[in-house]
């Protein structure tokens, strides 16, 4: 007998530069949803402190403070009681890897995201950036190396399979089929970041193109 299992998808929170109201709404929905699966699909923590980009000197947050803020939200997600929890790295998690290989190669194989966030102890499965994971007939990954309004199509073209991605900070959902009645989808669920914190992009473009959001889905265990 078919049974549906609920999925909560957390995309691009950019903690600690997140939208507090949007993130709280996601958690409130999660309390009602009682998800069986939680998928963080990248850029959960901003890792501003180790970014290679020119930094705003008024932002004095240290890496340890970013990690502590991220762990506080992980605590809240874990309280939702999901039986499986997956954390997929994004290009912002990759900032740490690139910092280590360029600035501190001696620590490259000693420090990583799972250790810093205690993901094994917390019972999260970690999927590195540029990798993917499958749940049922759906693939989850952060990106395929592209952003912008057409990225939802580029992700479908890359995988030729139903896929959920982040990175673009857009809300988009497309379904395509073929001549024999087979269908596949590509979905993006926006972001949970605070638009007022963006200082590397013209604010009008942020407000025009990016949308606050998160994903809710259901896995049919019979398929």
Choose the most confident range, by mean pLDDT, from 42-56, 165-179, 190-204.
165-179
Does residue 198 surpass a pLDDT of 90? no
Answer positive or negative: Cα dihedral of 175, 190, 74, 34. negative
Q: Binning pLDDT at 50, 70 and 90, where does residue 11 land?
A: very high
Please, which residues have CB within 8 angstroms of residue 23's CB and are 6 or more apart in sequence? 13, 73, 192
- The model's pLDDT over 94-104, given as tens digits with 9 standing for 90+, comes to 999 999 999 99
pLDDT (average), residues 111-138: 97
Residue 53's pLDDT is what?
A: 84
Q: How many C-alpha atoms does 210 have within 13 Å on its Cβ side? A: 24
- The model's pLDDT over 52-101, given as tens digits with 9 standing for 90+, comes to 888 887 776 789 999 999 999 999 999 999 999 999 999 999 999 999 99
C-alpha to C-alpha distance for 147 and 170, rounded to whole angstroms:
9
Does residue 105 surpass a pLDDT of 80? yes
What DSSP assignment string belongs to 18-73? B-HHHHHHHHHHHHHH--SEEEE-S-SB--GGG-SS---TT----HHHHHHHHHHH
Residue 154's pLDDT is what?
A: 98
- The model's pLDDT over 147-161, given as tens digits with 9 standing for 90+, comes to 999 999 999 999 999
Residue 200's pLDDT is what?
A: 81
Residue 134's pLDDT is what?
A: 98
Reference 14, options 60, 58, 62, 73; nearest CA is 73
Does residue 1 surpass a pLDDT of 60? no
What is this structure's pTM?
0.95
- The pLDDT > 90 percentage for the chain reads 87
Residue 60's pLDDT is what?
A: 63
Residue 69's pLDDT is what?
A: 97
């Amino acid at each position: 007998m078919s049974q549906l299992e609920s999925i909560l998808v957390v995309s691009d929170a950019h903690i600690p530069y997140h939208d507090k109201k949007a993130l709280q709404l996601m958690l409130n929905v999660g309390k009602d949803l009682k998800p069986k699966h939680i998928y963080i699909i990248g850029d959960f923590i901003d890792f501003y402190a180790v970014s290679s980009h020119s930094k705003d000197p008024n932002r004095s947050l240290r890496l340890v403070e970013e990690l502590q803020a991220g762990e506080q939200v992980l605590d809240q997600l874990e309280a939702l009681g999901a039986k499986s929890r997956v954390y997929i790295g994004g290009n912002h998690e990759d900032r740490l890897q690139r910092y280590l290989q360029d600035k501190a190669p001696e620590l490259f194989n000693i420090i990583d995201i799972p250790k810093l966030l205690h993901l094994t102890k917390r019972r999260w499965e970690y999927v590195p950036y540029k990798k993917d994971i499958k749940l049922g007939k759906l693939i989850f990954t952060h990106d395929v190396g592209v952003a912008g309004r057409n990225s939802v199509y580029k992700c479908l073209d890359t995988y030729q399979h139903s896929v959920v991605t982040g990175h673009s900070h857009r809300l988009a959902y497309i379904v395509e089929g073929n001549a024999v009645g087979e269908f596949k989808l590509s979905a993006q669920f926006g972001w949970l970041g605070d638009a007022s914190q963006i200082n590397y992009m013209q604010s009008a473009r942020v407000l025009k193109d990016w949308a606050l959001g998160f994903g809710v889905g259901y896995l049919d265990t019979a398929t």
